[in-house]
A = this chain, B = another copy of it.
Amino acid sequence: MDIHDFKSVVKNYQAVFFDAFGVLKNYDGLVPGITNTFDYLKAEKKEFFIVTNDASRSPQQLAETYHNLGLHAINADHIISSGMLAKEFLDLKVHNGIVAYLGPANSAHYIESSGLHTMPISDVNSNNMENVSVLVFLDDEGFDWSSDLNKAINLLRKKPIPAIIANTDYAYPRTANEVAIAIGGIAKMIETIVGRDFIRFGKPDSQMFMFAYDIVRSRIPLAKKDILMVGDTLHTDILGGNKFGLDTVLVFSGNTLEHQAETRINSTGIVPTYICRDAVVG
């Protein structure tokens, strides 16, 4: 297992896609030294994007979380979130009616489109149910799990509407030692119970990468071989990047620790192009 210096890798690419949690930040704040990386990318005029399974907030709100931590290089237009794909789906495919949702209220405001209005699942009742056009799973917070998940199941049993999962993760780290159930895990349970095929947005699915790729190509002419995907998780960041045809870097600042890496790569067959300790340009 060769470990490369991140700068020696990144210098060969014109654009970089970063996973957020475990690469740029963790429970304690920013990964130490990560601001240097963005200084370098700006100086070298390399494009960069944060490609993240997150539908809890708008890109603007996500960018603010970096500013609050002291990383000012990341703006809303650097953020590609799975919530943006959910919003694109609603824009293109749902033209009227109510978007019932599970998640916090401001995640819902972001996905609202012309002709639609959003409603927490708790407010859906027998009077307004006929107007519900779609159900969106946004985040694991902002609703009562017991009553609202049962409501979601019965809504889907009664109406053949699409259900959208705006973050496919099953769990996410909450502290250094603890995880929490993510909305993707909850949605999978409900999909099994109702026997449906839900629509999922998020890594490792290609649509996340395509969305970022389309934007970066609109700014500078480049090809897939010019882009590097950097992540801490084999089965989302690295599998998804590989499948889309990008070169990939696995870093050890998050889910995958150095002593686990070789075993996990061999047992999954998900092989990153490079391995680096972190995404810091020293």
Is there a chain B Cβ closer than 8 Å to A76's Cβ? no
Cα separation A93 to B146 with both chains bound (whole Å): 32
Q: B265 near A150 (CB under 8 angstroms)?
A: no
Q: B154 near A179 (CB under 8 angstroms)?
A: yes
Q: A149 near B181 (CB under 8 angstroms)?
A: yes
Q: Knowing A269-B161, A270-B197 are in contact, say whether A242-B185 is a contact too (CB < 8 A).
A: no
Taking CB atoms, residues of chain B closer than 8 Å to A225 are: 92
Point out the residue from B149, B179, B224, B239 that lies within 8 Å of A153, measured CB to CB: B179
A55 to chain B, nearest CB (A): 15
Copies in the complex: 4
Is there a chain B Cβ closer than 8 Å to A163's Cβ? yes
Q: A162 near B242 (CB under 8 angstroms)?
A: yes
Is there a chain B Cβ closer than 8 Å to A5's Cβ? no
Q: B92 near A207 (CB under 8 angstroms)?
A: no
A37 to chain B, nearest CB (A): 25
Cα separation A162 to B150 with both chains bound (whole Å): 28
Q: A269 near B179 (CB under 8 angstroms)?
A: no
A146 to chain B, nearest CB (A): 5
A137 to chain B, nearest CB (A): 13
Point out the residue from B157, B205, B269 that lies within 8 Å of A156, measured CB to CB: B269
Q: B192 near A170 (CB under 8 angstroms)?
A: yes
Cα separation A153 to B265 with both chains bound (whole Å): 17
Contact sample, A vs B, 23 pairs, CB 8 Å cutoff: A89-B245, A93-B245, A145-B145, A150-B180, A153-B181, A154-B178, A157-B178, A158-B177, A160-B267, A160-B269, A161-B269, A179-B193, A185-B193, A186-B189, A188-B189, A194-B269, A197-B235, A197-B269, A199-B242, A199-B243, A206-B207, A207-B210, A210-B210
